[in-house]
Amino acid sequence: MCGIVGYIGQDQSQEILLKGLEKLEYRGYDSAGLALLNDDGVYVSKVKGRIAALREAVDENKKATMGIGHTRWATHGAPSHENAHPHQSASGQFTLVHNGVVENYMEVREAYLPNVAMKSETDTEIVVQLIEHLNEQMNDVAAAFRKAVDLLKGSYAIALIDSQNPETIYVAKNKSPLLIGLGDGFNVVASDSMAMLQVTDQFLELMDKETVIVQRDAVTIQKPDGSKVDRDPFTAELDATDIEKGMYPHFMLKEIDEQPFVIRKIIQEYQNENDEIKLDPEIRQAMKECDRIYIIAAGTSYHAGLLGKQFIEKLANIPVEVHVASEFSYNMPLLSEKPLFVYISQSGETADSRSVLVQTKELGHPALTLTNVPGSTLSRESDYTMHLHAGPEIAVASTKAYTAQMAVLAILAVDTARAKGIELEFDPMQELGIVANAMEALTDQKEAVEELASEFLPTTRNCFFIGRGVDYYVGLEGALKLKEISYIQAEGFAGGELKHGTIALIEEGTPVIGLATQEKVNLSIRGNIQEVEARGANSCIITMKGLEKDGDNFIIPKVHELLTPLVSVVPMQLISYYAALHRDCDVDKPRNLAKSVTVE
CA–CA dist 226, 142 (Å, integer): 11
Q: Which residue is nearest to ligand M6R (CB)?
A: 299
> Please, which residue, 214 or 410, has the CB nearer to ligand M6R?
410
Is 298 near ligand M6R (CB under 6 A)?
A: yes
Contact indicator for 457, 486 with CB cutoff of 8 Å: yes
For residue 355, the minimal CB distance to ligand M6R (Å) is: 12
Contact indicator for 288, 318 with CB cutoff of 8 Å: no
Backbone angles phi, psi at 188, to 5 degrees: -135, 165
In terms of Cα–Cα distance, which of 140, 32, 72, 107 is closest to 127? 107
Total of chain residues touching ligand M6R, rule CB under 6 A: 16
Give me the helices (H) in 121-248, please.
123-138, 141-151, 193-196
Is 350 near ligand M6R (CB under 6 A)?
A: yes
Burial of 281 (0-12, 13-18, 19+ CB in 10 A): exposed
For residue 537, the minimal CB distance to ligand M6R (Å) is: 26
For residue 192, the minimal CB distance to ligand M6R (Å) is: 12
Is 542 near ligand M6R (CB under 6 A)?
A: no
- Three-state DSSP class for 65? coil
Identified binder of ligand M6R from the candidate list 83, 310, 329, 346, rule CB under 6 A: 346
Instruction: Print the SS3 string covering 298-346.
Output: CHHHHHHHHHHHHHHHHHHCCCEEEEEHHHHCCCCCCCCCCEEEEEEEC
> Please, which residue, 301 or 543, has the CB nearer to ligand M6R?
301
Is 301 near ligand M6R (CB under 6 A)?
A: yes
For residue 398, the minimal CB distance to ligand M6R (Å) is: 4
Is 31 near ligand M6R (CB under 6 A)?
A: no
- Three-state DSSP class for 212? strand
Q: Half-sphere exposure (CA, 13 Å, Cβ side) for 188? A: 31
What mask, x for binding ligand M6R by CB under 6 A, covers residues 469 to 498? -----------x---x--------------
Identified binder of ligand M6R from the candidate list 174, 300, 326, 329, rule CB under 6 A: 300
> Please, which residue, 345 or 486, has the CB nearer to ligand M6R?
345
CA–CA dist 100, 183 (Å, integer): 27
In terms of Cα–Cα distance, which of 485, 326, 482 is closest to 396? 485
Give me the helices (H) in 9-156, please.
13-24, 51-57, 105-112, 123-138, 141-151
CA–CA dist 466, 488 (Å, integer): 16
For residue 350, the minimal CB distance to ligand M6R (Å) is: 3
Is 3 near ligand M6R (CB under 6 A)?
A: no
Backbone angles phi, psi at 217, to 5 degrees: -115, 5
User: Where does this chain touch ligand M6R (CB under 6 A) — which range of 70-78, 276-284, 326-334, 339-347?
Assistant: 339-347
CA angle 553–566–515, rounded 5-degree value: 35
CA–CA dist 356, 402 (Å, integer): 21
Contact indicator for 482, 475 with CB cutoff of 8 Å: no
Residues 112-171 that bind ligand M6R (CB under 6 A): none
CA–CA dist 441, 422 (Å, integer): 33
For residue 471, the minimal CB distance to ligand M6R (Å) is: 19
> Please, which residue, 122 or 346, has the CB nearer to ligand M6R?
346
Strand partners, 370: 344, 386
> Please, which residue, 33 or 299, has the CB nearer to ligand M6R?
299
Catalytic (active-site) positions: 2, 595
For residue 26, the minimal CB distance to ligand M6R (Å) is: 11
Identified binder of ligand M6R from the candidate list 347, 443, 510, 539, rule CB under 6 A: 347
> Please, which residue, 9 or 299, has the CB nearer to ligand M6R?
299
For 348, other C-beta atoms within 10 Å of its C-beta total 27
> Please, which residue, 148 or 351, has the CB nearer to ligand M6R?
351
What mask, x for binding ligand M6R by CB under 6 A, covers residues 374 to 413? ----------------------xxx---------------
For residue 480, the minimal CB distance to ligand M6R (Å) is: 6
> Please, which residue, 233 or 375, has the CB nearer to ligand M6R?
375
User: Where does this chain touch ligand M6R (CB under 6 A) — which range of 137-145, 162-170, 294-302, 553-561?
Assistant: 294-302
For residue 258, the minimal CB distance to ligand M6R (Å) is: 15
Is 517 near ligand M6R (CB under 6 A)?
A: no
User: Where does this chain touch ligand M6R (CB under 6 A) — which range of 102-110, 177-185, 297-305, 407-415?
Assistant: 297-305
Strand partners, 453: none
Residues contributing to the site for ligand M6R (CB under 6 A): 298-301, 345-347, 350, 353, 396-398, 480, 484, 593, 597
